[in-house]
Amino acid sequence: MSSFFPDVPKLHNFFHDPTMFHEVFLSFRGQDTRSSFTSHLYASLRNAGIDVFKDDHGLPRGDNISSSLIQAIEGSQISVIVLSVNYAGSQWCLKELVKIMECHRTTGQIVLPVFYGVDPSEVRHQTGEFGKVFRNLLDKISNEENEDNFVNLNLGIDCGYSLFKYQLFQNQLRQVASLAGFVVLNYRNESEAIKDIVENVTRLLDKTDLFIANNPVGVESRVQDMIQVLEKDSQQSNDVLLLGVWGMGGVGKTTIAKAIYNKIGRNFDGRSFVANIREVWEENASQVNLQEKLLFDIFKEMTTKIQSIENGKIILKDKLCHRRVLIVLDDVNTLDQLNALCGSHKWFGLGSRIIITTRDRHILRCNRVNEVYEMKNMDESESVELFSWHAFKQASPAKDFAEISRNVVEYSGGLPLALEVLGSYLFDRGLIEWHSVLEKLKIIPNDQVQKKLKISYDGLNDYTEKEIFLDIACFFIGMDRNDVILVLNGSRLFAEIGISILVERSLVTVDDKNKLGMHDLLRDMGREIIREKSPEEPEARCRLWFHDDVLDVLSNQSVRTSYT
């Protein structure tokens, strides 16, 4: 069947035009509710911060629906249809209904019917006063057809016989009456009904932003950098774009991804932030829950029960391929996780943006993503400000603490996690305590930072990779990669692949001179793994790196013949 309406630009072609996109489209019969219920509903939605299109601001009336109105319907996330007694007496309203239900079927637009002064069964079966008004309209259409001997309701095509229109309108009324909605049968429950509708719409629109930080230092500049990547070639191409965000633990990948989600998420047909995937995947036996969460976030309904991961892949692909979505997959650490939630570009509608945060660059290889954004540590200025907000509740250090604050900031190495944790720990402590903490950190890392960074170490594949990491942390920082490989291969540690994996996991770096490097806090984390196995007996440790420990062990001739 040909389209019931003339061709207009599709949603994804004008999505960035704010005049074409609305959160809610209101369909209503003006003579019934414009100055009463619909007016109050419109005001309540607007007061809740919801962008509403209400067609009483100068669009031409008559039998023909303008292309602007069609675009407004297509460009809305939710349509609220106020089905009053005389609604079905207007061709204009019925043609709006046809277009809305078409969008409901083809793009998954959410439709909320409001049965105002009519029972849903009257709409479903066209009975009562509602049915009488509907039949009167059809009689009028039939009479016009008999007079002209042809049918053309200015719908963009020849529609054929009045029987076609009768069946079409009747079918749309049946369908909308079968949807869950709101029944407002008398004026006494209008205010409560409006409150319920606004709460429902707010929930469906996912108006609640994700919490970023009380003091988001350095966030905005990094968000703008990533948005430039996400909008790359957007003028020429509306392709699906996958962006990998890679960096060590605690560097702020999740924080920046949340900020992006909040900033641009409402420009899409739907959005989903799937958090802590690594942790949920390991702890949750029913991994299909992640797939179901993604579906619920986008479609706001749980009508489909996923039976298995493989079944979920098929469902996600089928349902998402027509949707322009923003999806953030946070803390992905295996290909199984990525494949279960983002099999390929073909899963998503044109213009979709998928952001994947990970500590493992290998996951982002082989053209799995279009771009990789490497998270950088904070510079000195950003580090001092972030630390100060947590340590002093202001943007710069207190006067007497300026020098020691710089020492703590230097120790943190620009890692936001460490700056926040140490700043909060030192808040409201005296200068003597600050010096004590800094001396202690040289030997024993902060426990909160240690646990966060150790996740990457624990995720290594086997003992050879862990041994290589510990050896580098204790002995080989700053040495030539090739020389270290020769040494480690003497212990059958397969260092070529091992060092490559450590680089991919953001645990080790190799500079342009082929020298091995490591963030100071990762170095301390590795050394603490060794120390904590025998904190009181250095001779029982598998590696020694402090000069005093080495001298003490050798002078006491207490070296063991084997180590654990």
Helices 380-391 and 416-426: crossing angle, nearest 10°?
30
- Yes or no: say if 193 and 182 are a contact pair by the CB < 8 Å rule: yes
SS3 at position 319: helix
Element (H, E) at 372: strand 371-374
Q: Distance of CA 64 to CAs 83, 91, 95, 137, 332, Å?
A: 20, 9, 9, 16, 51
E strands, 18-133, are: 22-27, 52-54, 76-83, 110-116
Cβ partners under 8 Å of residue 532, min gap 6: none
Task: Count the Cβ atoms, other than its own, within 10 Å of residue 492.
Answer: 8
Cβ partners under 8 Å of residue 67, min gap 6: 6, 8
Element (H, E) at 274: strand 270-274
Catalytically annotated residues: 96
**What token pair was written down for 181?**
């909605």
Quickly count helices (H) and strands (E) in the chain: 24, 12
User: Could you tell me the strand order of the sheet in which 241-246 lies?
Assistant: 270-274, 325-329, 353-358, 241-246, 371-374
Q: What is the DSSP letter of 474?
A: I
Q: Residue 331 region, left (φ>0) first, then alpha (ψ -120 to 50), else beta?
A: left
Residue in the block written with tokens 């349509």? 79
**What token pair was written down for 225?**
């950098």
Of 330, 288, 284, 296, the closest CA to residue 312 belongs to 288
Helices 495-504 and 481-489: crossing angle, nearest 10°?
130
How far apart CA 70 and CA 63 sit, in angstroms, is 14
- Yes or no: say if 112 and 142 are a contact pair by the CB < 8 Å rule: no
How far apart CA 161 and CA 156 sit, in angstroms, is 15
- Read off the amino acid at residue 409: V
Residue 336 backbone phi and psi in degrees, to 5? -60, -45
Of 525, 413, 533, the closest CA to residue 472 belongs to 525
How far apart CA 510 and CA 308 sit, in angstroms, is 41
Residue 361 backbone phi and psi in degrees, to 5? -70, -25
Pairing type for strands 325-329 and 270-274 reads: parallel
Q: Distance of CA 242 to CAs 316, 345, 504, Å?
A: 16, 8, 19
- Yes or no: say if 359 and 249 are a contact pair by the CB < 8 Å rule: yes
